Amino acid sequence: MIPLRDSNPSGRFPIVTVALISLCTLVFLYEASLGRQIQYFVSAFGLVPGRVTYGLQSGEIDFFTASQPFLTSMFLHGGWLHLLGNMWFLWIFGDNVEDVLGSFRFVLFYLLTGLAAGLAHYLLQPTSAVPTVGASGAIAGVLAGYAILFPGAKVTTLVPLGFFIQLMELPALVMIGLWFAIQIGSGLLTLGWNGGGVAWWAHVGGFVAGVAFVKILQPRRVMA
């Protein structure tokens, strides 16, 4: 499913959402400029679960060093389609979540859900030697936040139906709920697989964290 737009205008300019999109784009442009050196860059700053596990068990790295790729991997992407897909979802849904949480809380929310996504992926594939990159886990958290805050907002969505693609206007809770169900189903099919591909459980972990953190970080209304 591909969301095209929502019917929920933001009340202010989404400065953090735009900044995150700009940062991820700039990092990807730098990646693209590296040529053959890109594999070393991704290996160094992507999340490689097996390296973290070995480093902690052997004592070669401390907890702080081991935690760094959980953060840096959130700003790397594996290709133009990977980048554009993630940034499009962030653009559609991030502005409204930022509008409710405020700039500082939204930054904190984004980072916490992204870290939770990386942790979920690590716990399920602790020996994987494949670098994991992408903002998908954090954006899954944003989707969860949007579904909690604006369950009835309409989202115009391209939905594949067999050999055809249908344009539908779905409630956010339905569209995002279907998206989450796909992540769960796909994740179950890959349990025990340590090879490459989509980090489905990172999406699931980010989404679950988003449900929790949006409630924790949402400002309380002051009653007069």
Q: Which residues are catalytic?
A: 136, 203
Angle between helix 63-72 and 49-58 (nearest 10): 170
Phi–psi pair at 6, nearest 5 degrees: -120, 165
Report the distance separating Cα 127 and Cα 181, nearest Å: 26
* Residue entry with tokens 């442009």: 29
Q: Which two tokens stand for residue 84?
A: 């554009």
Report the distance separating Cα 151 and Cα 153, nearest Å: 6
Report the distance separating Cα 90 and Cα 126, nearest Å: 28
Phi–psi pair at 5, nearest 5 degrees: -170, 160
3-state secondary structure of 11: coil
How far CA 167 is from CA of 159, 175, 177, in Å, comes to: 6, 12, 17
